Structure 1
């Protein structure tokens, strides 16, 4: 694919809110000294340790730049540490990107519903408008020409691939066309990319100065409770996010556990393989149910299913102790449930409950 040499990082940085361009970030004690010492008397910490803990590490502030974790992650992902931002979940990166690029009551973002709801929620929190270019019905692909046309009015474009709640990858050629023809940042949210066989957009980061890739430790890595999200982008964009984030946004325990998780890549790969296998089996089984109208193809760890009386089935499953997500009120998702791929026994129980519904219906 040919790149557009007229899109430069200097132009993208002109999209930053003017008052933030020269902002001097808060300088913490760990910014002013980042080496190792025996005695720390610089950050007003409790020198005696932490109560109820057998170790005293948590009385000290964490590394505000998460250098050890970024270095490990950079090797794994084939990028530079300076291209990585770590956030308190991907939601922090979403919030900071809108805060960085969009003037309240003036600018707008562009989203492609149905998609992840936090893009719009974060925009509303910051009093930023939202342009909506819905996905094409049934195939859930981008209306590329319309997105490019509307991009002149947008400061950020949000694309989710694999998309939530539909589960499908967005076509590569469409994302490429957008990246090379718009002059604002384009965020590709890849929270579910580990469950796809597609390589995603991270290997192509160097070719697109306006590309920002979001990933997370919450899904395939199984660390949702620790809240750790990742943004990959040009170092100037990462530097901007670092300037406006809270000083110690990733706690010490999360950093420690994420480093340990990176040593368990074989286990994670096995979980991904099992999830893909169960996704295929569950999709086939759901297709055989007479009240299921369509099982949409998925590259994620969930399946979107259109069925008769979806909301009633949702409520019935609750009585069975099984919780899925009713997406019937989401645009283009009429009568659809979103079903996470569980462990084999969980999927069997789900299917048994649906067959009971069929008998009693």
Structure 2
């Protein structure tokens, strides 16, 4: 039987969270003299600390109840909160599978938590024979799985097997799920009480500057995330921007369709280049390719003010290409065709 309280740090269990003025009165009408705000200006009032309107809209779009939604200042804040809630510094451990998103390692280091890493296999999948023995370690409290994965672009097959075989918390980072044909695990949070699913408005919704990350999980975990977060972690302008963008579902659908079509074109054209050794499968808005000399290709592109990501130090001789607007992709492909690395 899953028991959340055995995983939460004792000081967090006993924490009395900060109570803001907007916790005590959440109405929108009245003379507000409770929060020591300046009565003048357009941005003079504190934002809703629990983003109720935004959560309601997300609930409709994502088919997840509002009580199962937590919003963070980007997914990065939620990653950090998970370490702070579940891992005793200098004592507990977390696990992830590499290569993957670098913030798991950074947040672990900031929180003084040992991060155990296991290499993905040649197809960038989890080797369960290596992973399963690690899941029995009593000091292991968190597992982070990015799926679809960054920088490898593929979806991870063994995610549910990890969830089922681990008594701690599994954080599945679905930042790129909108570009995949796979069903989001956010629809299985009732089935798995130890599951936290992360998503973001930064990618498919085009709101990277607004910093709005989402966690879908059971209400008890949401309550601990709310306990530990800063009181006003998402600004009013960013909440407003997110709500406005979420109303434009037709635009979202058109842009996503364009990006997916451009991804197909990009892959077809990259296959024509002699120095491209491999194009990895992509469930994301980017493509990972292996070339004969990643540094040379990267430097040749930057000399033309075309910026892609050199992942040579993470995956040997690999480059990560984000799918841009059609004319940007055309310029990139022309440049790549003229490079002789």
Shorter-chain TM range is over 0.9
Q: Following the alignment from structure 2 to structure 1, what is the Cα–Cα distance between the partners of residues 92 and 16? A: 24
User: In structure 1, what is the equivalent of residue 18 of structure 2?
Assistant: 26
Q: Following the alignment from structure 1 to structure 2, what is the Cα–Cα distance between the partners of residues 178 and 163? A: 16
User: In structure 1, what is the equivalent of residue 305 of structure 2?
Assistant: 321
SS at match of 1:133: strand
Specify which of 237, 255, 263 is matched with residue 221 of structure 2.
237
For residues 246-293 of structure 1, the C-alpha deviation after alignment (integer angstroms, 9 at most, x for no partner) is 000010011111111111011111111111111111011111100000
Q: Offset at 1:40?
A: 0.2
User: In structure 1, what is the equivalent of residue 267 of structure 2?
Assistant: 283
**Is the Cα contact below 8 Å between 1:12 and 1:183 reproduced in 2?**
no
**Is the Cα contact below 8 Å between 1:159 and 1:188 reproduced in 2?**
yes
Task: Single out whichever of 118-127 and 346-355 deviates more from structure 2.
Answer: 346-355
Specify which of 9, 24, 31 is matched with residue 39 of structure 1.
31
Q: Offset at 1:309?
A: 0.9
For residues 47-103 of structure 1, the C-alpha deviation after alignment (integer angstroms, 9 at most, x for no partner) is 122xxxxxx2x1000000111111111121111111111111100000001111011
Specify which of 162, 166, 169 is matched with residue 152 of structure 2.
166
Query: How many matched pairs?
Result: 339
User: In structure 2, what is the equivalent of residue 113 of structure 1?
Assistant: 98
Residue 58 of structure 2 corresponds to residue 97 of structure 1: no
Q: Offset at 1:144?
A: 2.1
User: In structure 2, what is the equivalent of residue 78 of structure 1?
Assistant: 63
The structure-2 alpha-carbon separation of the partners of 1:12 and 1:148, relative to structure 1 and needing over 3 Å to count, comes to farther
What does 1:76-225 align with in structure 2 at a 5 Å threshold? 76-137=61-122, 139-153=123-137, 154-171=140-157, 174-225=158-209
User: In structure 2, what is the equivalent of residue 12 of structure 1?
Assistant: 4
Give the aligned CA root-mean-square deviation in angstroms.
1.0
**Is the Cα contact below 8 Å between 2:154 and 2:282 reproduced in 1?**
yes
**Is the Cα contact below 8 Å between 2:199 and 2:215 reproduced in 1?**
yes
**Is the Cα contact below 8 Å between 1:13 and 1:237 reproduced in 2?**
no
Q: Following the alignment from structure 1 to structure 2, what is the Cα–Cα distance between the partners of residues 148 and 236? A: 27
TM-score by length of 2: 0.98
**Is the Cα contact below 8 Å between 2:135 and 2:165 reproduced in 1?**
no
For residues 216-264 of structure 1, the C-alpha deviation after alignment (integer angstroms, 9 at most, x for no partner) is 0000000001111011111000100000000000100111111111110
For residues 9-37 of structure 1, the C-alpha deviation after alignment (integer angstroms, 9 at most, x for no partner) is xx233111111112110000000111133
Residue 319 of structure 2 corresponds to residue 334 of structure 1: no
Mark the runs of 5 or more structure 2 residues left unpaired by the alignment: none
